[in-house]
Structure 1
Amino acid sequence: MVLRYVRCIAAAAAAMAVMSGCATPAAPTIDASTSPGTTPVSSVPFALFTHCGIYEARVQDTFFLADQPLNDGHGNPPAGWGNPYQSGTITVAGSQAVFHDDSGHTVTFHERPGATSFLQTCS
């Protein structure tokens, strides 16, 4: 019984040595689209609030205004947009944020420096 226990431990130790000792370190990956001094840009999932039209967006603690606000003329999102939210992605690069969705909608926003809240709220 003790011999079987010792063999199991030896086999487990040998397997761990083989699995951990044979791999070479992973090579670091470099994003060739960025150069020193630039900030990498990436899109992140984003739920754009559309309930009263598309005017503003908040990404983390930064507030952005739409370059061209969108609504149906009655305080709602335009036809073809979700309500109260439209799912998509947003990409922030410097003072600009761009929203895209799978329906082909694109909205460009620009940062409101120093803003701490939305300009307008709706019910």
Structure 2
Amino acid sequence: MEAVAGLDACTTVEPDEARVAATRDRLVTAEEAVRLAELFRLLGDPTRAQLLYALLEAGELCVCDLTETVEVSDTAVSHALRLLRTAGIVVGRRSGRMIYYRLADAHVRMLLDLSREHLRHG
């Protein structure tokens, strides 16, 4: 147990000031960190994750198609889509009385693709 704890500790008490300063200059701002945490919190829900991957695979689906695909209630799907739409992760397109949802942009697609690839990597 002590050997593992030693891996997480510095062997010196003096940080590399140049490296710290260079890293600090490239850090996300506190506001960006909050927004990133909120984004990952949204993506951290299993139902929302399944909805996003359904949209990734299908391109565009309505609420009833999403409900059948992920096997959850239409109320749960609608609520999840409202959160995702408000966050700019999905967008809707009205066609008559139907609204079809799709991923907002290529960045969302890339994030989902990379996340799945990371899971399959291990």
TM-score, length basis structure 2:
0.24
**Which structure is higher in helix share?**
2
TM-score, length basis structure 1:
0.24
Name the larger-Rg structure: 1
**Which structure is higher in strand share?**
1
